[in-house]
Structure 1
Amino acid sequence: MFSYSAVAEKSLQTCRYLAIIAAIAAPMSTAVTSVACVLMILTWLVAGQVWQGLKLSAAQPAGKMLLLFFAWLIIGSLYAETSWAEKITTLTSWKKLVYTFVLFGVFYQTPWKKRFVEFYLAVMAFGAVIAIPLWLLDIPIKGRGEAGIFMTNHSSQSMAFVVAALCCIFLLKEASLQKKRVLLGLLALFLLNVFFISPSRSGYLALPVAAVFAFINLYGYKKIPHILGVTTLALALVLLTSSTLQQRIRLGVEEITHYQTSEKVTSMGVRVVFYQNAWELIQNKPLLGYGTSSFKSVYSAHVAPKYRDWRGEPATDPHNQFLFVWVENGLIGLLLFLAYIFTAVRQGAALQPYGAIAASVLVAIAASSLFNSNFKTFPEGNLLAFFVGCLLAQQSTHEAKTDRA
């Protein structure tokens, strides 16, 4: 006999599995992630718990801040001097945070959080093992460039392993001796990939910053001197032994030093130009900004008459998430964005271990977003959205009483 409640329950379970698939696929496959996201939303709708889920999401501190930030993005689109097509494109680029909000009301059960992390670690461990022979044998994958890189790009692969390493750090504390050995082995595997195989400078920054946050969260503020000391020694050791890291840092310093005389665009040089001109734009309209979707038009108009080389080329993003928000949505938008990050980190830090994992991932992405717009990029943005949405979700008192597996 047909039972809608049974269909709804199956749909909700399918929705959760699709969220796990989307998170795992985010740094590896745009197509798989996109399909998983669409199916996740559809099964969420079929489950018939949309209103209850949204109320649960909105009741959480991070959910409230997301709603405020979304509201300001929409308001910003109303005064932006751009076409509606451009406004809609920019608003939809923030849809990853919509997934986070939806998942706040879906992933509140601890067994599902555990399942999420276990599946993610299993796949990333397999990926980390694959990367090693590719790197040792100097075998580049077509379209990826560097040897050992098989995901979307070196930045997304590095961030995927940064997230996996953070999972290991939090799970170590409560694990049995046997599981500790496994987790330590996995942690070493992920660290090898981040610091020795990947040329991603974002990973070099994100992991130490997030690891310091993680250890402070685990062992308390009184241990900060010890944590900073150990982290500094570990980074010094890595710097002395990793030729990949040395080369990337040396190249970055060279690009920054010679960006004014360089005849071609360089990764770090163009960022310096972006930051300088974005700051000039901010000084003209600091409070409200130029409106959601405005960055490309206002930046291009600003630099075109100013330069006669690559520095005068148009850009859609300053490669700094915080400057991007400030240019488009003003100081008000930036403060709301920072308030969301602060609130989510605070909410997660109180929920060991899974909420704290989400908080540390958010700290990692926020650190890397000083040099990228990783909240909006497809691989990192979706990875962040699903980790925060799935692992930060809180269960209301009512849901706790009526919890269903």
Structure 2
Amino acid sequence: MVSYTAIAEKSLLICRCVAIIAAIAAPASTAVTGVACVVMLLTWLISGQVWQSLKRSAVQPAGKMLLLFFAWLVISSLYADTSWSDKIDTLSSWKKLLFTFVLFGLFYESQWKARFIYCYLAAMSLAAVIAVPLWLLDITVRSGREAGIFMTNHSSQSLAFVVATLCCIFLLKESLSLQKKSLLVGVMALFLVNIFFISPSRSGYLALPAAAAFAFFILYKHKKLHYIHGIVAAAMLLVILTSSTLQQRIKLGLEEKTNYQSSESVTSIGIRVIFAQNTLELIQQKPLFGYGTSSFKTVYSAHVAAKYQDWRGAPASDPHNQYLFVWLENGLVGLLIFLAYIYTAIRQGASQQPYGAIAASVLVAVAATSLFNSNFKTFPEGHLLAFFVGCLLARQPKNMAEAECA
């Protein structure tokens, strides 16, 4: 007869394996990711480790800040002038951070972090190899996507390869054989080709340099740092001069920024400028506590409808800026708590090389792109971030034995 202990151990094993699958699937398949998340939570509940893992999560600095942020989201929802269904929907959109909190208590063992990284790198290496011939042969796999883009969209695919590149940067500093390091350099080159030559994602062009600069700072501190950043800058200049895709996207962005006021139709950059201007106007009216969780669509849409008669007056549920979104809904209080979580998580990760530092670098990448998107809440990017931070930032507290007995 199978004992409950055996079932619990098997459930915990499945839970961790499915979490890895969810991270790999996040940028490519919402269906697989959604199913994997449900299975992960179910097996976590069956494992009998819920209380112990939650305590492990709660004693970590980043875990404490997540709890504080969620508490403020709930409090903010109470004074929002919206329906309860809208409040629940918005709170649910932040559930990726709940996955992070759960994973803090499950992936504290280094062998599971290593499995996570190598499985992800293997999957992304295969994806990078597939993308190159699709791009060279101008083959479109998904309708409405560019050649070589076969994941959810070009932004999610680019971020997936940015994350993989950051993994390679840190692993190259580890004690590996020359053969393994050569392999890492090779796949990293493939990732870079995908990010800067195949993908038209401007988010990727911003995310990688920002995160790479942070990663090199963590690895080398002040030693040779100016040389390294000089090399990074030179490499970026070379990419800018050689990548026609990057040149076209930057040129288009500058044109959209210059002409957004006279444009007769919505443009990617133009709408972001309008979002920012009007969101800041609304924030000035209630800067401290905001309008409440779930209020953005109602408040913003009414504001622009009364102000414009063209595409600028269209309703919107997000300003494509994570920080402005939090500030409008949850006020300066909520924004400061949110920034405190990011800072705390980065600081916690920086002291845990290589895995925690990878998580911190991924968080820096997404924090940078969130100036122009709400990537903490979008499905592909939000789940990818949640699983990377949750799995790699997790640490086993020194007093874990006492905490579990308490």
TM-score (norm 2): 0.98
Task: Report the residue type matching 1:72 in the other structure.
Answer: W
Identify the residue that residue 214 of structure 2 maps to in structure 1. Answer: 213
Identify the residue that residue 106 of structure 2 maps to in structure 1. Answer: 106
Separation in 1, partners of 2:225, 2:73: 37
Identify the residue that residue 389 of structure 2 maps to in structure 1. Answer: 388
Identify the residue that residue 262 of structure 1 maps to in structure 2. Answer: 263
| 8 Å Cα contact 2:56-2:400 kept in structure 1 | no
| 8 Å Cα contact 1:290-1:330 kept in structure 2 | yes
| 8 Å Cα contact 2:162-2:195 kept in structure 1 | yes
Separation in 2, partners of 1:152, 1:339: 30
Deviation at 1:229, TM superposition (A): 1.3
Equivalent residue runs for 1:209-288 within 5 Å: 209-288=210-289
Deviation at 1:399, TM superposition (A): 5.1
Separation in 2, partners of 1:295, 1:340: 22
| 8 Å Cα contact 2:60-2:397 kept in structure 1 | no
1:124 aligns with 2:90: no
1:52 aligns with 2:40: no
1:140 aligns with 2:140: yes
Separation in 1, partners of 2:293, 2:313: 22
Separation in 2, partners of 1:229, 1:351: 26
Task: Report the residue type matching 1:349 in the other structure.
Answer: A
Identify the residue that residue 300 of structure 2 maps to in structure 1. Answer: 299
Equivalent residue runs for 1:335-346 within 5 Å: 335-346=336-347
Task: Report the residue type matching 2:146 in the other structure.
Answer: E
Separation in 1, partners of 2:173, 2:225: 17
How has the CA–CA distance of structure 1 residues 212 and 225 changed in structure 2, closer, same or farther, with 3 Å as cutoff? same
Q: Could you report, residue by residue, the CA deviation over 1:29-52 in whole angstroms, capped at 9, with x for unpaired residues?
A: 000000000000000000001111
Q: Could you report, residue by residue, the CA deviation over 1:340-390 in whole angstroms, capped at 9, with x for unpaired residues?
A: 000000000000000000000000000010000000000000000000000
Task: Report the residue type matching 1:79 in the other structure.
Answer: Y
Identify the residue that residue 83 of structure 1 maps to in structure 2. Answer: 83
Equivalent residue runs for 1:144-163 within 5 Å: 144-163=144-163
| 8 Å Cα contact 1:134-1:147 kept in structure 2 | yes
Separation in 2, partners of 1:142, 1:389: 31
Task: Report the residue type matching 1:315 in the other structure.
Answer: A
| 8 Å Cα contact 2:142-2:149 kept in structure 1 | no
| 8 Å Cα contact 1:265-1:310 kept in structure 2 | yes
Separation in 2, partners of 1:329, 1:221: 38
Deviation at 1:223, TM superposition (A): 3.5
| 8 Å Cα contact 2:57-2:105 kept in structure 1 | yes
Identify the residue that residue 320 of structure 1 maps to in structure 2. Answer: 321
Separation in 2, partners of 1:60, 1:194: 34
Q: Could you report, residue by residue, the CA deviation over 1:201-253 in whole angstroms, capped at 9, with x for unpaired residues?
A: 00000000000000000000343322321121111000000000000000000
Separation in 2, partners of 1:166, 1:44: 29
Deviation at 1:323, TM superposition (A): 0.4
Identify the residue that residue 199 of structure 1 maps to in structure 2. Answer: 200
Task: Report the residue type matching 1:36 in the other structure.
Answer: A
Identify the residue that residue 14 of structure 1 maps to in structure 2. Answer: 14
TM-score (norm 1): 0.98
Identify the residue that residue 38 of structure 2 maps to in structure 1. Answer: 38
Q: Could you report, residue by residue, the CA deviation over 1:142-173 in whole angstroms, capped at 9, with x for unpaired residues?
A: 32420000000000000000000000000001
Task: Report the residue type matching 1:2 in the other structure.
Answer: V
Separation in 1, partners of 2:216, 2:94: 30
Separation in 1, partners of 2:78, 2:90: 13
Deviation at 1:2, TM superposition (A): 2.4
Deviation at 1:400, TM superposition (A): 8.0
Deviation at 1:174, TM superposition (A): 1.1
| 8 Å Cα contact 1:166-1:360 kept in structure 2 | yes
Q: Secondary structure at the match of 2:108?
A: coil
Separation in 2, partners of 1:152, 1:105: 29
| 8 Å Cα contact 1:216-1:227 kept in structure 2 | no
- Structure 1's unaligned 5+ residue stretches are none
| 8 Å Cα contact 1:104-1:392 kept in structure 2 | yes
Identity of aligned residues (%): 73
- Structure 2's unaligned 5+ residue stretches are none
Task: Report the residue type matching 1:389 in the other structure.
Answer: G
Task: Report the residue type matching 1:393 in the other structure.
Answer: A
Identify the residue that residue 397 of structure 1 maps to in structure 2. Answer: 398
Task: Report the residue type matching 1:108 in the other structure.
Answer: Y
| 8 Å Cα contact 1:144-1:152 kept in structure 2 | no
Identify the residue that residue 93 of structure 2 maps to in structure 1. Answer: 93
Task: Report the residue type matching 2:169 in the other structure.
Answer: I
Task: Report the residue type matching 2:5 in the other structure.
Answer: S
Q: Secondary structure at the match of 1:149?
A: coil
Q: Secondary structure at the match of 2:224?
A: helix
Task: Report the residue type matching 2:87 in the other structure.
Answer: K
Task: Report the residue type matching 1:65 in the other structure.
Answer: M
CA RMSD of superposed structures (Å): 1.4
| 8 Å Cα contact 1:107-1:391 kept in structure 2 | yes
Separation in 2, partners of 1:280, 1:398: 48
Separation in 1, partners of 2:227, 2:287: 40
Q: Secondary structure at the match of 1:199?
A: coil
